[in-house]
Structure 1
Amino acid sequence: MSGTGRPAANWEVTLAATTAEQTQALGRHIAEVLQAGDLLVLSGELGAGKTTFTQGLGEGLGVRAGIISPTFVLVRIHPNLPDGPRPGGPDLVHVDAYRLGSAAEIDDIDLENTMDSSVTVVEWGLDRVEHLSESRLEIDLHRAIGLGTAAEAAGDLGDAGTTGGPSATLDFDDDTDEPRTIVVRGYGPRWATAPALGGFEGGLPC
């Protein structure tokens, strides 16, 4: 167990990205080693690049384009394209868990029904989705200059009922070109060893 009471990761890799394209490139690179059943948990402050990373991941998996943060619908499913780079590969299930306050609420959206045939990516999923799989990748994205926390965003927006809630802007300026630190951690037997991440196209180890 780590000092926070959570299980320790099998490994941790820290990378630097200076542009949105580099963040997407890391997503494409990680997609090469993903398979159906894999779970990715994305964390990061406002505009950290969670959706930008997922867009790159979708390109690498060869799923239907148009990936945006699934703020209002909670879950978006992007099917694998038969004429894409990985025909017959897994679909991408993209989840925004910001509005979901517990693991029980995660269970209510029935991700178990799609996990076996899909790669599941959960934004704001830390401490909410770990029960879905004994193995996962946790990816933390941090801006050099943050835009604040989700709680601060809620206060700035005032009445969330008239704006769509704070998560409507959680990826504000998500595609800006500025330095980001990206920390990748592997948990469980699926990720007993780290994939080769240090040489991904467009990125350098910190």
Structure 2
Amino acid sequence: MTDHRMLTTVDDTEALGRELAGQLQAGDLVILDGPLGAGKTALTRGIAAGLGVEGRVSSPTFIIARQHRAGAHPGAVALVHVDAYRLGGDLDELDALDLDTDLDHAVVVVEWGLGVVEHLADRHLRVQLRREPESDVRTAEWEWIAAN
């Protein structure tokens, strides 16, 4: 079942991320899809806040993957934030990131991961973000998808 929501501000996008974090645990894979400026990193900031990770979350565009340790409070979960855009479908480089190992102890969030990383987990949370033309309003649709 697909859920959806209109996001009128960056705060709304981050709040959705915090809400989605409540459904996540170590071993979960989240795939974020949407064009540039759709809010993928803002959503990841919200997920990170909801998981209780340490450190500031920013786009991993130039380093491809950032690891964020779980905070000190009970229930905190580590986060690995990946930008698959620069991989350009290079599965060898993706394999070198060892994301399947990260899934043992962290939530892995992959921007631009649709069609690239689904094989890493038995199921994943797919979040589609869209930005309305000539507006700051975004829409989000999300659903859990089982591996084929």
TM-score by length of 1: 0.67
Following TM superposition, where does structure 1 have runs of at least 4 consecutive aligned residues deviating by more than 6 angstroms?
none
> Aligned partners of 1:142, 1:132: CA distance in 2, in Å?
25
What percentage of residue pairs aligned between the two structures are identical?
A: 46
Residues 62-81 of structure 1 mapped to structure 2, 5 A cutoff: 62-81=52-71
- Alpha-carbon RMSD across the aligned residues, in angstroms, is 1.6
Cα distance in 2 for partners of 1:54, 1:98 equals 15
The verdict on how the C-alpha distance between 1:102 and 1:134 changes in structure 2, with shifts beyond 3 A counting, is: farther
Larger radius of gyration: 1
Can you list the C-alpha shifts for 1:22-78, whole angstroms capped at 9, x where unaligned?
000000001111100000000111110000000011110000131000011111001
Distance in structure 2 (CA, Å) of the matches to 1:46 and 1:97: 13
- Any unmatched runs of 5+ in structure 1? 1-10, 147-176, 190-206
SS of 2:86's equivalent in the other structure is coil
1:91 aligns with 2:58: no
Cα pair 2:35 2:130 within 8 Å, conserved: yes
TM-score by length of 2: 0.92
Matched with 2:118 is 130
**Where is the strand percentage greater, Structure 1 or Structure 2?**
2
- Map 1:21-60; keep pairs closer than 5 Å: 21-60=11-50
Equivalent positions of 1:110-121 (< 5 A) are 110-121=98-109
Contact 2:71–2:77 (CA under 8 A) maintained in structure 1:
no
| Secondary structure of residue in 2 paired with 1:33 | coil
